């Protein structure tokens, strides 16, 4: 992946199940749905936002849990219940006045494939399906829900020359 592509990124769109989570869905006895999110991914997202990169969520499922996590992270753009991720990504671009060349997309499975191929930087997790892994410009060494998003955020920040500066804000 060329750092010039990373310099142009203004929006990172993320899938949820299998990217921000490990892809498992747990149902409680009362019908509630449970998902686990990695706190390290959350800090990576906040670092990207501090660097001026908008973060959005595109997911095929509907979940109040996802809306809650997005709110906690300051993610204002959430598209839920959409199987056609490329159409949703193009809608995001239009909403933000961006071209696909200014967008990165991270997904893990076949519904994400076209968006990964169309984005300036298509990213995936270590445990992505084979077709997605083959199409991605960059693949994390971590599985979904296990720090893959954090690694992607750090990669973008490093390529833009912003990682050390942002990390230094946490030091004495």
pLDDT single digits (tens) 47-102: 999 999 999 999 999 999 999 999 999 999 999 999 999 999 999 999 999 999 99
- Examine residue 12 and state whether it is found in any structural domain, yes or no: yes
Domains in the chain, number: 1
* Predicted pLDDT at 4: 82
Helix axes 148-159, 39-50, angle to 10 degrees: 20
Average pLDDT, rounded, for the chain = 95
The reported pLDDT for the residue numbered 3 is 66
Whole-angstrom CA distances from 148 to 27, 40, 42, 88, 104 are: 24, 9, 11, 22, 14
Q: What's the pLDDT score for residue 122? A: 98
Query: Look-up: residue for tokens 């997790």?
Result: 125
Does some domain include residue 2? no
**132 domain residue, yes or no:** yes
Q: What's the CATH number where 73 sits?
A: 3.40.50.1000
pTM value is 0.95
H helices present in the chain, as ranges: 3-8, 39-50, 64-73, 85-96, 113-118, 130-135, 148-159, 163-168
Classify residue 38: in a domain, yes or no: yes
Are the CB atoms for 16 and 37 separated by under 8 Å? no
Distances (CA, A) of 34 to 16, 26, 125, 161: 13, 5, 21, 37
Q: Which structural domain range is residue 98 located in?
A: 7-168
Residues 4-16: tens digit of each pLDDT: 899 999 999 999 9
Q: What letter would DSSP give residue 32?
A: -
Q: What is the mean pLDDT of residues 113-132?
A: 98
Q: Is 113 a domain residue?
A: yes
pLDDT for the residue 172: 82
**Whether pLDDT at 111 is above 90:** yes
Has residue 118 got a pLDDT over 90?
Answer: yes
């Amino acid at each position: 992946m060329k750092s010039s592509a990373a310099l142009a990124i203004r929006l990172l769109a993320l899938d949820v199940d299998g990217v921000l989570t490990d892809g498992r869905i747990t149902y409680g006895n009362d019908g509630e749905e449970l998902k686990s999110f990695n706190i390290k991914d959350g800090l990576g997202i906040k670092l990207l936002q501090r660097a001026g990169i908008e973060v959005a969520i595109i997911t095929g499922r509907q979940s109040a849990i996802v809306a809650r996590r997005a709110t906690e992270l300051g993610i204002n753009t959430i598209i839920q219940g959409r199987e056609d991720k490329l159409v949703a990504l193009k809608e995001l671009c239009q909403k933000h006045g961006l071209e696909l060349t200014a967008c990165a997309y991270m997904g893990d499975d076949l519904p994400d494939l076209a968006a990964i191929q169309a984005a300036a930087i298509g990213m995936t997790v270590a445990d992505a399906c084979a077709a997605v892994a083959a199409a991605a410009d960059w693949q994390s060494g971590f599985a979904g829900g296990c720090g893959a998003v954090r690694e992607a955020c750090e990669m973008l920040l490093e390529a833009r020359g912003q990682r050390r500066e942002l990390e230094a804000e946490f030091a004495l």
